[in-house]
Amino acid sequence: MKKLLVILMAIAMVFSLAACGGTAEETTGAPEETTVKAPENPTIRMSTTTSVNDSGLLPAILPVFEQKTGYKVEVQSAGTGAAIQKAKDGNADLILVHSKASEEEFVNEGYGVERIPFMFNYFVIVGPKDDPAGIKDCENAAAAFAKIKGAGSKFVSRGDESGTHKAELKIWGEDKPDAAVDTWYISAGQGMGACLSMANEQNAYCLTDKATFLSNKDSLQGLDIILGEGEDMKNTYSVIECNPEKLDGVNTEGAKALIDWILSEEADALIAKYGEAEYGQALFTVIAE
């Protein structure tokens, strides 16, 4: 019994610590910028998905915004589900995600002001270099998936309700494999990087965003991009401002300023160029307004 009490106390402590954490976060991180007058509330909390974070785009472009305006952007990254949930719990000022259905739900439930798609890229199917299921000439991802299923080739699924997982499920449609029966279908429930390592280990196919694959390519020697840019593989990213009428403590001014900047020509140019230096190709395409 004593043991149980101790455990419960520990849980209670964790909760109270977590509660304190929220307020502490807002007071820290005041920018040291001298050229620009700091805004009243200089901290912007952005909740985004791991794949956006892993691509390295944000650290490449956000400092430009921060220098210009004196804001400080705190980027929290998690799976799409958790990223949205954090915002619903009032722990973010805006979200940057890539899952249309969840985004629309977020706005329709009143948590978000408006869904603004601003850039896209393509999911790619990576797989063993010898392409055992023979998908490289397929017209689109759906056809490739059908071949993988027919051949019973191994396929690693995110299985974590992330934006990438939802995109995968949409491509499978009615033909979604059942992991309980189809042993070739590996539902990993982990992040993009971990799933790619697993595909590399198990000689499996995997649906991934191009950015994460290219940035990890060195450790994925067994894998190649087998199929890219089918019309059903488009991956659109949006920003949504959290609704201050529904959520307390949202830094609306900051969120608006950041969204305006992301949609500006200056940011567009930075996004369109991102990746050229490191990977020899741009990773995102800006959506023209």
Query: What is the closest distance, in whole angstroms, from the C-beta atom of residue 253 to another protein in the complex?
Result: 27
- By CB under 8 A, residue 202 contacts another protein: yes
Give the span between the Cα atoms of 267 and 260, in whole angstroms. Answer: 10
Query: What is the closest distance, in whole angstroms, from the C-beta atom of residue 25 to another protein in the complex?
Result: 18
Task: For the segment 132-161, give every residue that binds another protein (CB under 8 A).
Answer: 159-161
Contact range with another protein by CB under 8 A, out of 1-9, 34-42, 228-236, 252-260: 1-9
User: Between residues 131 and 160, which has the closer beta carbon with respect to another protein?
Assistant: 160
Pick the closest to residue 205 from 184, 189, 221 (CA basis).
184
- By CB under 8 A, residue 84 contacts another protein: yes
* DSSP letter assigned to residue 73: E
Structure tokens, 177: 């494999």
- Check if the beta carbon of residue 157 is closer than 8 Å to that of residue 76: no
- By CB under 8 A, residue 198 contacts another protein: yes
* DSSP letter assigned to residue 263: T
Task: Please report the DSSP string for 230-252 in residue order.
Answer: -GGGEEEEEEEEE-TTTSTT--H
Query: What is the closest distance, in whole angstroms, from the C-beta atom of residue 41 to another protein in the complex?
Result: 26
- By CB under 8 A, residue 93 contacts another protein: no
- By CB under 8 A, residue 53 contacts another protein: no
Burial status of residue 4 (CB atoms within 10 A of its CB: 0-12, 13-18, 19 or more): exposed
Pick the closest to residue 164 from 272, 238, 236 (CA basis).
236
Contact range with another protein by CB under 8 A, out of 37-45, 146-154, 184-192, 239-247: 184-192
Of 132, 134, 222, 249, the residue at the interface with another protein (CB under 8 A) is 222
The residue ranges that bind another protein (CB under 8 A) are 3-4, 7, 78-86, 159-162, 179-180, 186-191, 194, 198, 200-202, 222
